[in-house]
């Protein structure tokens, strides 16, 4: 399921089944913002639903560097949150927190001008799957390791 700009696309019923929601603690939504008119470039962020703590968590590796700058990507996370909440209500998925605020989490930050946002999103997802706390200060080394792992997997992948 994905959204692009203001147009919602995808089939939520294939992703948000009662079985999936019942069996998992987290729902993880990598968000690719490519047509945000306020954004300077394409960007990956992450929205996580934690059904145990009843929280919506948002990670952005390119948070505004000054107080005068707003996060232009958070609108996509709020759109996805609203879409998932609406779908959960229709489908009777009571474990999904409805009406809870979006919590902006500390995230590893990419260097200015870098394109590491996708790698950082993968790093955060891996930490969730490994049930490891997200150590923002240690993430630079972890992100470099993640980038290396991706290259190794791509080079060693056997096409059948």
Q: pLDDT, tens digit, for every residue of 19-66?
A: 888 999 999 999 988 755 555 678 999 999 999 999 999 999 987 666
Our count of domains for the chain comes to: 1
- Rounded Cα distance, 129 and 121, in Å: 12
1: pLDDT strictly greater than 50: no
- Distance of CA 72 to CAs 16, 60, 78, Å? 27, 10, 11
Q: Which domain holds residue 26?
A: 2-156
CB 124 within 8 A of CB 107: yes
Residues 6+ apart with CB under 8 A from 143: 108, 116, 119, 120, 123
Q: How far does Cα 156 stand from its chain's mean position?
A: 27
14: pLDDT strictly greater than 80: no
Q: pLDDT, tens digit, for every residue of 65-111?
A: 666 678 888 988 999 999 999 989 999 999 999 999 999 998 888 88
Most confident of the ranges 10-14, 90-94, 99-103, 137-141: 99-103
Prediction pTM value: 0.83
């Amino acid at each position: 399921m994905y959204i692009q700009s203001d147009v919602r696309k995808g089939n939520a019923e294939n992703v948000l089944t009662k079985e999936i929601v019942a069996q998992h603690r987290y729902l993880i939504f990598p968000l690719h913002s490519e047509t945000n008119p306020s954004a300077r470039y394409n960007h990956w962020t992450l929205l996580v639903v934690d059904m145990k703590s009843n929280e919506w968590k948002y990670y952005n590796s390119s948070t505004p560097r000054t107080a005068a700058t707003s996060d232009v990507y958070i609108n996509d996370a709020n759109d996805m949150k609203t879409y998932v909440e609406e779908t959960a209500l229709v489908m009777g998925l009571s474990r999904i927190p409805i009406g809870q605020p979006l919590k902006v989490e500390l995230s590893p930050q990419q260097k200015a001008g870098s394109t590491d946002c996708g790698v950082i999103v993968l790093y955060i997802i891996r930490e969730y799957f490994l049930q490891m706390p997200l150590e923002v200060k240690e993430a630079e080394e972890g992100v470099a390791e993640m980038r290396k792992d991706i290259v190794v997997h791509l080079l060693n992948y056997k096409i059948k």
